Structure 1
Amino acid sequence: MAFTPAKWPRRLRSQEWYGGTSRDSIYHRGWMRNQGYPEDLFDGRPIIGILNTWSELTPCNGHLNELAEKVKAGIWEAGGFPVEVPVFSASENTFRPTAMMFRNLAAMSIEEQIRGQPMDGCVLMVGCDKTTPSLLMAAASVDLPSIVVTGGPMLNGWFQGERVGAGTHLWRFSEAVKAGEMTQEDFLEAEAAVTRSTGTCNTMGTASSMASMTEALGMALSGNAAIPAVDSRRRVMAQMSGRRIVQMVKDDLKPSDILTKEAFENAVRVNGAIGGSTNAVVHLLAIAGRIEVDFTLDDWDRCGRDVPTIVNLQPSGEYLMEEFFYAGGLPVVLRQLGQDGLLHKDALTVSGGAIWDEVKEAKNWNEDVIRPVERALTAQGGIAVLKGNLAPKGSILKPSAASEHLLVHRGPAVVFEDIDDYKARINDDALDVDENSILVLKNCGPKGYPGMAEVGNMGLPPKVLKKGVTDMIRISDARMSGTAYGTVILHTAPEAAAGGPLAVVKTGDMIEVDVPARRLHLDIPDAELAARLADWAPHHERATSGYAWLHQEHVEGADTGADLTFLKGCRGNAVGKDSH
C-alpha cells in the first residue's frame, strides 16, 4: 500500500519522524510497526503521547492504566493515534527523603521525553501530589498541545461512625495517641478504614488542590477535579479528554495560550475558596516560571486576601471530596467567584472557550458543603504571605487551617536545628516548652533537608497535648502536607541552609506573629541579627554526588517555586538532528 499523508491544516511534528519515504522515515515507521500497527496510522494523523504516571509504588495513581485505556478510546474516536508512555512517578507516600526533591527531576526527564519523541500533543495522566506539577512544568517548557486527566480522589473513609479523611485523621489520631485519648490498637484499626479505595487523598490535600488548580488554570476539562476515582464518570472524563486533545492539536492550542497571568490569578482565588494546600504555592510559582509568566509570591497574597473559604472540606472543614463532587464540584466554586467579581471570566481553557462559559450554569446541590459567602468558613481564606526580618523573602500560612487566637501572638522560640534534633527532643518532658512557645525548625528547606519535606506541621510536645492544647505556632522553612492543619508558618525564605535569618534564631528569642498585618518578626536588635548572620556557617547535610548534589547546588528558594535554576523557561519543541 502506498504511503499517502492525511490532509491536516499543517504538517504535524510527528511527520519529522514518520512522513515520507526516506530511509530515516522507513526506519522510524518500521520499528513502530513491530507492535502490529498498520501502515495507514502513520499517514499524518496526530500522534498523541499519553504520559502515564502509573506505578504500583505510587498508590494514588495505581488505577491510571485503566483510565489510559479510556483516553486511548477517545483519541481513536477523534482520528488520532494514541501511544502510552510511562514517565517518572514521584510518590508522596513512598519516596525518601521526600517526593518534593524529585518533582524537578521528574519535570526535567518528562520534558525531554516529550521533546525528543514524535508527539503532536500530550495527555498528562496525574494524581499523587508531585505528579501534577511535574507534568505541567514539563508541558509548559515544551509547549505542545496538552490536556490533564487526574485520577480522582478515593471514596470517603469511615471509622467508628465518623467520617475520616486520608492524611488529616492520621495527624489527629497520632496526636490523640500521644495525648492518651486513643489507644494504639484503635489507631491500627483505623489504618484500613482511612484509605478504602483507589485514588488520591479524599481531603482537600495537595492532590485534590492541584487537581482543582489544574481545572482553574484551564488545563483540564470542566468538572475534572472532583470526580471520585472509582466513579464511572471519571472514565467518561478520560475518554472525552482523549477526544479533545486531537482537536487541540488541529487548532494548535498550547499551554502558552492558556497559562496566562489571568489564569494564575484565577487559580490563586480558587485555592482560597477551596481551602487549598499550601503546596500549591511552590507548584504554581514553578509552573509560571516554566511558561515565563510574571507571577510572584506577592500575587498569592494580593489575589487571595479577600477570598472567603466556602468549601467545607477537611482539613479546614467537615466533609470530603465525595461530598464536594456531589454538591457540584469546582464549577460551582468558579461560578461563585465569577458572581463576586473574583474571576477573569474570559480566561481560555482546553475546551477552546472561556472559563465562564463552562461554569455559568453550575448548580450548588449542597450549601453545607459549598457554602454561600455569608456562611464562609473563613472570611479571608487565601494564603497569607508574611514578611519581616525573620522572612525577608516571605513565608506563608493557611488561615483557614489556623487557630484564630494564634493569628496575633508573641512568644519565646523553642528551636530545633534540624528534623533529627526535633525527633530526639520533642517527647522529652524536660523540654522547656508550653502553649505560649513558638516551635522553630531549621534546615528543612529546598537545600537543607534536602528537598523541603512535609515536616513543618510538627507534632506538639506530649506535655502540652496532655494539658488539652491542640495547636501552637510552628515556624520552619519546610512544607506541610495539604491534609495537615494548624497555625503553621512555612516556606520561610531565605531558608536556614542558605543563610537566611531563620538559621540564627536561638531558643528563648521572642518572635512576633501578626497575620492580619502580614508580619513575622524576630525581636532582637538589628545589630545583633547582623552579627549572628556574619558568624553563621552552614551545617546541614551536604550531598557530594548524584542528583541530591545537583539539586542542592541549583535549587531556588521556595519564594520562587523551588525549581532548578537551569530549568526555568520555555525551551520549545524543536526536533533535534536525526542520527539515523
Structure 2
Amino acid sequence: MSSRDSSRARPLRSAEWFGTTDKNGFMYRSWMRNQGIPDHEFQGKPIIGICNTWSELTPCNHHFRKLAEHVKKGVLEAGGYPVEFPVFSNGESNLRPTAMFTRNLASMDVEEAIRGNPIDAVVLLVGCDKTTPALLMGAASCDVPTIVVSGGPMLNGKHQGKDIGSGTVVWQLSEDVKAGKISLHDFMAAEAGMSRSAGTCNTMGTASTMASMAEALGTSLPHNAAIPAVDSRRYVLAHLSGMRIVEMVEEGMDLSKVLTREAFENAIRVNAAIGGSTNAVIHLKAIAGRMGVELDLEDWTRVGHGTPTLVDLQPSGRFLMEDFYYAGGLPAVMRRLGEAGRLPNPDALTVNGQSLWENVREAPIYNDEVVRTLDNPLCADGSMSILRGNLAPNGAVLKPSAATPALMTHRGQAVVFEDFDDYKARIDDPELDVTADSILVMKNCGPRGYHGMAEVGNMGLPSKILAQGVTDMVRISDARMSGTAYGTVVLHVAPESAAGGPLAAVRHGDWIELDCQSGRLHLEVSDEEIAARLAERDPTEASRLIASQGGYRQLYIERVLQADEGCDFDFLVGCRGAKVPRHSH
C-alpha cells in the first residue's frame, strides 16, 4: 500500500468491487480486463467516473468526446483511473416537448449510474440547459466527490457584419418579420451565422446561467462558466479538473461539503449580478432539494434583493459570452461583489479546496463595459421578482433585467388563451380583442399541463400590436421562458392551471394588477367568484389525462412537484447516499 493509500481519508468505494481476492473480486476485475486494463490499475487507485452527456442530437454537447479525453489525461496524471460512461443527454434544441420533461429522467440515470458502479468520484460533463441541473441533481443524491466541467459557450454569432446572440436573435428577428420590418430572406440569412461553433448559447441563457451557477456554487474550477467551447483553455480546464477530482477523493471532499446553504445563497446573489435565467430558480431549488438544503422562493428576495446587474450581456444587455470571458468572466463579477461586501458567504468552500473569495479576490477585470462597476449597473436591482397574490398563491417569477421598467407596475385586462395551441391559433387573428395595455394570459402550460413546462411563456406579441410599433406587453403564464428570451413576462405561476390553480379561473376581460416593487400579482375577482369558476371544472378531467398517458408521461404527471418546489419528482427529493447492497454472484 502506498503512502497515498495510507493517508487517504477513508477506504476507496471501488475497493468493494476490485479490492477482494474472493470470487466476486475475481469476476469484477476479470470482466474489466477485457478492455486491456492491466492489474496495477486496480491496486488502490481512485476510480473516477466521467459522466458524459455527449450526443449528436444535443449539438451544444457534440464536442464532449474530446473534452472527456482531456479529463482522462488529468485523472491519469494525478494517479487515478478514469472510466467514461454515458447518461441520457437531454438537449434543449431538438427534444420535444421540452428538455425539462426529461430533466428528472436524466437525473435518475445519473444517480443510479453513480451508485451502482465502482467509482469513487465523478466528473460531470455538462453543457446544454438541463444537463447541468440534471447531473448535479443525480450526483447530489449520491454525495460522492464531484466536479463540474461545462462545455462552454459558442463563439459570437455573426450576421451582416454584427454580433448576434444565439437564441435571442431568433425572438428579435421573428418579431421583426411579423411587424414587416425585415423580409423572410433576411430572417433566414441569420440562421447559419447564429451558431457557428461548438458550444452552448452565447447569450446569458439557461446554459450559461447554469454554468455560472455551477461556478458560483463552488462545484467547478474558476472560469468554468465562460471559456468559449473552442478555446484551448477549455481543454486545459478539463485536464486540471481531472487532476483535482483525484485529490478530492484523497481529501474526502464529498459534494455535500460544497453544496451548502451558504453556497446556494452565493449563487442567488450571483444570478442577479449576471442577469441570469429565470430557469435558475427552478433548477437551484431542485438541486438543493436533492442535497437536503432548504431553499424557498423567499430566499430569492431576501438574498438577491437590491443586487445590481453588472454583466451587460444579451438578452438583458449588449454583449455575448465570448466578450464576457475576455472581460474577466465570472471571477471578475464575484470580485466586484466581494469588494463591495455583496458576496453573502465569501468563505464558502469550493472544489479546488479554497474559499470562493480566495479564488476571486485578485481576479483581473479587463472591460468595465462588459462587467460594469456597481455605480454604473445595467440594472439597479437585478434580483428575481418573486410575485404572490390571489393569482399565484404559491408564487410566480419575473426577470427585471429583461423587462420593460414602465411595465413592471401595470394594470390591464386579460386576453386569455386556454393553452399553447389556442395561443398559436388566435394570436395573429386581426379580430383578436387586444390593445397594447392588455395582459396576455396563457393557461395549462405548467409541469402537468404541458408535460415538462415548456419554454412558451414569452408569448410573441399579436401582429396587430407589433404593427403599431409596440415591442413589449405584460404576459402571464404557468410556463417557463427560454433564458435567451426577454420581455415583461410573469412565469412559473403556482399552482398551475392543470393542478387547479387560480390561473385556471381567469377569463377574458378580467382586470389584473402587476406590481413588481411590492411583489403583487392580483386578479381583480372576488375569492368567491374564483372558487365558483374553479368548481365549474370537470373534476374527472385530470384523472382522464393521467390515465390516457402511460409510460414515463404518466409517471411525470402523477409525481412532479410544482414550479415553486423545483419540479422534481416527489420521490426523488433528498440525499440517498452512494451505498448500494453488494451483489454476490
Give the TM-score taking structure 1 as reference length.
0.98
Q: Secondary structure at the match of 1:118?
A: coil
Query: What stretches of structure 1 of length at least 5 have no aligned partner?
Result: none
User: Is 1:578 matched up with 2:578?
Assistant: no
Aligned pairs for 1:159-238 within 5 A: 159-238=159-238
Alpha-carbon distance in structure 1 between the residues aligned to 2:447 and 2:499: 9
Q: Which residue of 2 aligns with 1:450?
A: 451
Deviation at 1:537, TM superposition (A): 3.2
Deviation at 1:4, TM superposition (A): 13
Alpha-carbon distance in structure 2 between the residues aligned to 1:295 and 1:171: 32
Q: In structure 1, what residue type is equivalent to 2:557? A: Q
Alpha-carbon distance in structure 2 between the residues aligned to 1:363 and 1:386: 37
Deviation at 1:532, TM superposition (A): 1.6
Q: In structure 2, what residue type is equivalent to 1:388? A: G
Aligned pairs for 1:310-349 within 5 A: 310-343=310-343, 344-349=345-350
Alpha-carbon distance in structure 2 between the residues aligned to 1:227 and 1:474: 34
Q: Secondary structure at the match of 1:512?
A: strand
Deviation at 1:305, TM superposition (A): 1.2
Alpha-carbon distance in structure 1 between the residues aligned to 2:549 and 2:414: 33
Residues 232-281 of structure 1 show CA distances to partners (whole Å, capped at 9, x for unaligned) of 00000000000000000111101111111110010001000000000000
Deviation at 1:109, TM superposition (A): 1.3
Q: Which residue of 1 aligns with 2:395?
A: 394
Q: Which residue of 1 aligns with 2:465?
A: 464
Q: Which residue of 2 aligns with 1:79?
A: 79
Alpha-carbon distance in structure 2 between the residues aligned to 1:135 and 1:145: 13
Alpha-carbon distance in structure 2 between the residues aligned to 1:179 and 1:577: 64
Alpha-carbon distance in structure 1 between the residues aligned to 2:303 and 2:55: 36
Alpha-carbon distance in structure 2 between the residues aligned to 1:106 and 1:280: 17
Deviation at 1:544, TM superposition (A): 2.6
Alpha-carbon distance in structure 1 between the residues aligned to 2:160 and 2:94: 28
Deviation at 1:535, TM superposition (A): 2.4
Alpha-carbon distance in structure 2 between the residues aligned to 1:243 and 1:450: 40
Alpha-carbon distance in structure 2 between the residues aligned to 1:262 and 1:11: 29
Contact 1:5–1:44 under 8 Å retained in 2: no
Q: Which residue of 2 aligns with 1:360?
A: 361
Aligned pairs for 1:39-438 within 5 A: 39-343=39-343, 344-438=345-439
Alpha-carbon distance in structure 2 between the residues aligned to 1:568 and 1:6: 34
Q: Which residue of 1 aligns with 2:23?
A: 23
Q: Secondary structure at the match of 1:373?
A: coil
User: Aligned pairs, how many?
Assistant: 579
Alpha-carbon distance in structure 2 between the residues aligned to 1:577 and 1:147: 26
Alpha-carbon distance in structure 1 between the residues aligned to 2:302 and 2:95: 34
Q: In structure 2, what residue type is equivalent to 1:552? A: I
Deviation at 1:534, TM superposition (A): 2.5
Query: What stretches of structure 2 of length at least 5 have no aligned partner?
Result: none
Contact 1:504–1:536 under 8 Å retained in 2: no
Contact 1:3–1:20 under 8 Å retained in 2: no
Q: Secondary structure at the match of 1:449?
A: coil
Alpha-carbon distance in structure 1 between the residues aligned to 2:554 and 2:109: 17
Alpha-carbon distance in structure 1 between the residues aligned to 2:228 and 2:267: 21
Q: Secondary structure at the match of 2:137?
A: helix
From the superposition, tell whether residues 3 and 227 of structure 1 become closer, same or farther in structure 2 (CA, over 3 Å).
closer
Deviation at 1:3, TM superposition (A): 13
Alpha-carbon distance in structure 1 between the residues aligned to 2:7 and 2:367: 46
Q: In structure 2, what residue type is equivalent to 1:241? A: S
Aligned pairs for 1:538-577 within 5 A: 541-542=545-546, 543-577=548-582
Residues 545-571 of structure 1 show CA distances to partners (whole Å, capped at 9, x for unaligned) of 100000000000000100000000000
From the superposition, tell whether residues 285 and 3 of structure 1 become closer, same or farther in structure 2 (CA, over 3 Å).
closer
Q: In structure 2, what residue type is equivalent to 1:406? A: L
From the superposition, tell whether residues 260 and 285 of structure 1 become closer, same or farther in structure 2 (CA, over 3 Å).
same
Alpha-carbon distance in structure 2 between the residues aligned to 1:222 and 1:444: 37
Q: Secondary structure at the match of 1:124?
A: strand
Alpha-carbon distance in structure 1 between the residues aligned to 2:398 and 2:3: 59
Q: Secondary structure at the match of 1:396?
A: strand
Q: Secondary structure at the match of 1:567?
A: coil
Q: In structure 2, what residue type is equivalent to 1:520? A: L
Contact 1:165–1:201 under 8 Å retained in 2: yes
Q: Which residue of 2 aligns with 1:519?
A: 520
Residues 39-96 of structure 1 show CA distances to partners (whole Å, capped at 9, x for unaligned) of 0000011000000000000000000110100000000000000000011100101111
Deviation at 1:577, TM superposition (A): 2.5
Alpha-carbon distance in structure 2 between the residues aligned to 1:56 and 1:98: 17
Alpha-carbon distance in structure 1 between the residues aligned to 2:301 and 2:92: 27
Moved more, 4-13 or 530-539: 4-13
Contact 1:308–1:379 under 8 Å retained in 2: yes
Alpha-carbon distance in structure 2 between the residues aligned to 1:15 and 1:261: 32
Alpha-carbon distance in structure 2 between the residues aligned to 1:458 and 1:15: 54
Moved more, 180-189 or 493-502: 180-189
Contact 1:73–1:239 under 8 Å retained in 2: yes
Contact 1:408–1:513 under 8 Å retained in 2: yes
Q: In structure 2, what residue type is equivalent to 1:413? A: A
Residues 437-492 of structure 1 show CA distances to partners (whole Å, capped at 9, x for unaligned) of 00001000011101100000001000000000000000000000000000000000
Contact 1:11–1:44 under 8 Å retained in 2: no
Alpha-carbon distance in structure 2 between the residues aligned to 1:333 and 1:572: 34
Alpha-carbon distance in structure 1 between the residues aligned to 2:318 and 2:2: 60
Root-mean-square deviation (Å)? 1.4
From the superposition, tell whether residues 3 and 493 of structure 1 become closer, same or farther in structure 2 (CA, over 3 Å).
same
Moved more, 338-347 or 114-123: 338-347
Alpha-carbon distance in structure 2 between the residues aligned to 1:73 and 1:57: 26
Give the TM-score taking structure 2 as reference length.
0.97
Deviation at 1:579, TM superposition (A): 3.3
Residues 126-147 of structure 1 show CA distances to partners (whole Å, capped at 9, x for unaligned) of 0000000000000100000000
Contact 1:7–1:44 under 8 Å retained in 2: no
Deviation at 1:575, TM superposition (A): 2.4
Moved more, 143-152 or 342-351: 342-351
Alpha-carbon distance in structure 2 between the residues aligned to 1:171 and 1:263: 33
From the superposition, tell whether residues 434 and 132 of structure 1 become closer, same or farther in structure 2 (CA, over 3 Å).
same
Deviation at 1:536, TM superposition (A): 2.6
Alpha-carbon distance in structure 2 between the residues aligned to 1:14 and 1:8: 17
